[in-house]
Structure 1
Amino acid sequence: MDRIIFGAAAIPEPERAWLAAAERLPISSIWQGGHVLPPGPSGEAVTRLALLTAWTERVRVGTAVLMLPLYHPVIAAKQLADLDSRSGGRVSVGVGVGGEFPREFDAVGVPLSERGARTDEAIEVLRKLWRGGPATHKGRFWEFADTELRPVAPGAGRQGGPPVIVSGRKAPAMRRAALLGDGWMPYLMSPGAYARSVTAIREEAAAAGRDLDGFEWMMYLYCSVRADGDRARDERAAFLGSAYGGKPREMLDRISPAGTPEEVAASLQAYVDAGVRHFVIAPAAGADTLGIVRLAAEEVLPRLTAGALT
């Protein structure tokens, strides 16, 4: 884990030409998430993931993120296993608890207060079904016996199922990553906060006797990289909107780097020093998002250096 890699978020929607161009860049992964009932006409996570698997050939593809408590885990396990097997084992599952849009929880009959507990149990269900062979589960929310999941292309996916990468920013998400996840992928988090999350996850895992060997230290990073640094900063402010766009520039720079390749590299180096090894670059712009990914991959990534994680 002394190597730094870049991924990209296919914002605003997966498009075949964008993905083909992105695969020619020195990036390792492409991600896209989605809500079940978003306030606008944007896609849903599993549907978008299906497009990513169909329209890419080389890169790892993943959900960033799947609002897992909104889904029945047996159905999700089948969908994700099929996509993983169809893609030759390239799928990763970024999961989160959601909660930004309470109406989608109401519409699917899931109490908002249960989203954390449901996510924890759903991860357990996914893993049981992905192991292969008959599985039995009796939990708080779901129960089944001698149930076997058979992917559409047996043996073509990753053994044991796709990795589960936990997203979030708060202590329960860190605990979930430490105990249940294969990786950690927060968002809108400063380098200092990321470093503290690494410590918290390691301590939680150690207390539970869990070995984090192979654990992925990721960061979903909204940013804009342009030759014109002022353009990049203006784009970022407009993209983040009223919730964050009006914040002081110093605060925005801590959670969403923007500027020239040299400026963004300096910001990302602070994340590397905090423990990040896999960045998912989410272009904070309304146009030419591929240009941001290209500059990030070709001019920011080579400027970053990392030592071995301890």
Structure 2
Amino acid sequence: MKNLPPIVVHLLAALGCLVLLVLLTVATDPFTNLRIATVGYYLVAVAGLALLTGFNGQVSLGHGAFMFIGAYTVALLVKRVPSFPIWADLLLATVAGGIAGLLAGAAAARLRGPYLAGATLALAVGLPAVAQRFPDLFAGSNGLSFTVNSQPAALAGVPPTRWQAWIVWLAVLLALVFLANLARGKLGRTLRAVRDDEVAASLAGVHVGRTKILAFLVSSACGGLAGGLQAFLLGTAAPGSFTVALSLSLLAALVLGGLGSLWGALWGALALVYFQVWTDDLADLLDLRTDISDNLPLALYGVVLIVIVLAFPAGIQGGLRKVWVRVRRPNPSQSPSQRGET
């Protein structure tokens, strides 16, 4: 494995993960299949944000807007061009998100810190209002509902949530393979150089503005794909699903999992989905009032986020890496023979 090119290693790992996910969905009920697929599209959104914020140092509070673009792209294509296969709809949703990110990145290339965060926050606030402004096209606050009739013939008889979860995770794993290779390649090193010191990177010949725009493009394309996958899975695209709270939740999930790691994006996506489930179960167990149970997920999520950041400033993945290093580090008080050395 060590002698194989990174892309081959990543593809083999993705194939292994896909097999495990297929087995997991077969062994679980349709509702669990839906949750597994939900983790998938949140994962690709948080992973794209990790590239932008963790690898390049640009803070975005508006990634829900790119998910909005991807979701409505899929919804409009399914309703108006039903002959398109779902893979083409998802590809166009990714392209639409990337174009929006290219424009946003070009506008924000000279901004940094709170100014960049404010500009992206304005995007998250303003873009969902487009659905209200053009109700004939976007169906207003009710959103667009549709049915995806693109089940592959080879999967005939497979429950809808199961094969849809497979499609979602196939797209997610392909996106992750792309991001993993990008992060390990020349572009990944360039992104980190700009993050660490823009002046030094510029003196080394890096075009800082172009690098920032490219990071925005790739990250927003992931957001567009995530939104498209959500619309494909749920059969609806409504502005209420893409509020500012979603953008903030994606950033919080990234911080919780670990800023500079795609593994951290996985832990963050799991937290986004299962914290709601666990807190709902806890509220039912404690028989809490409705107003308390509605706010319990947000309160507990905030507490856990604070605890994780205080205990592991690099997030869950950083904490796991630190534990792994300590486990592997030999005890200096032991003799070489006790440590298994010769």
Query: TM-score scaled by structure 2?
Result: 0.26
Larger radius of gyration: 2
Query: TM-score scaled by structure 1?
Result: 0.28
Of the two structures, which has the highest relative contact order with CA contacts closer than 8 Å and spacing of 6 or more?
A: 2
Compare the two structures and name the one with the higher helix fraction.
Answer: 2
